[in-house]
Each structure stands twice: as C-alpha cells, then as structure tokens.
Amino acid sequence: MIDDPAQSRPAAARTAVTLLLGALVIGTLDIVYAMVFWHFKAGVPPTRILQSVAAGIYGKASFTGGARTAAIGAALHYFISLCIVLVYWLASKRFRILTERPILYGAIYGVLVYFVMNYVVIPLSATQRGKFLFSWVALTIVVHAFLIGVPAALSARAVKSGR
C-alpha cells in the first residue's frame, strides 16, 4: 500500500508546530533567565544580553549595533533553541528511551548542551569570554538541565504521542 502524501501533511505540520513551540519555550526560558540574572547581578539591560548573543558573530562590535544587533542576537538565540529541540527529536526517533523517560534524559541532554555550547560553540565564535563566575555557571547548568533539556525532551515526546 502506498502512503497518501496528503494524509501525512497534517502530521508533518503538527510535528513542525510542536517543535517550533518547544524551541520558543526553551529559547524564552533561557533568555529570560539570562536577562533576570544579569539585571540583578550587574544591572545589565536586556538589549545588551541579546547583543551578547550577536557577539558570537560580530564580536565587540555587536555592543555598538543598537537594536539591529539585539534583533540579530534574538534571531540567533531562537535558531540555536530550534537546533537544540531538533537534535533531541532526531535522537529520540532512533532511541525510544529518550521519550519514555523525558525528565531524566532531558536533564542529561540539557547539561550536555551546556557543555557543548560553552566549550565548543562559544570558543569557536567571535565572543570574548568574561571572567568565571561560579553562581552564573552553577545556575546555568541547572537551567540547561530543567528549562532547556527537559522541555526539549517533552517536545519530542509530544511529537511522538501526536499531541
């Protein structure tokens, strides 16, 4: 029997919407965390947080780019969030356990994302690293585990269950 492509379109659209919503959730949770932390720690405005994401491409020049580099930083941030969700979803298609135990494996994945971003992606970018701040690192690992990894896993699970 040949599959009807017209019947697979609604499922593909649901999958895309679910994964995009997952990316929107983790991207928003992550950037709000960064904005709140740095506001209370050092009075850093939200625009500067978004510009710090754009610094991955523009380096120090991102901080003089105003709203334009802040918007680019936001777009980059949500693109990275989408990639995070897509990687988990693709892995979950191969390894069922990832959607069967989304809290455990999502948290592990979130910590892995933290290490990949901080020890592979950021060092390869134009961003200049600041000094080590224990409170930032410790909280960020927890945030990556539970506000990034777990929602990414739950998004993959929602796709699998058709919700």
Q: What gap in Å lies between CA 35 and CA 8, rounded to an integer? A: 40
Segment-wise mean pLDDT, segments of 10 residues, the chain, 163 residues: 63 95 98 98 98 97 97 98 98 97 98 96 90 94 98 97 78
What's the number of CA atoms in the CB half-sphere (13 Å) around residue 5? 0
Q: What is the pTM of this model?
A: 0.92
C-alpha closest to that of 151 among 100, 94, 88, 96? 88
DSSP secondary structure of 6-19: HHHHHHHHHHHHHH
Q: What gap in Å lies between CA 114 and CA 142, rounded to an integer? A: 9
C-alpha closest to that of 157 among 15, 27, 13? 15
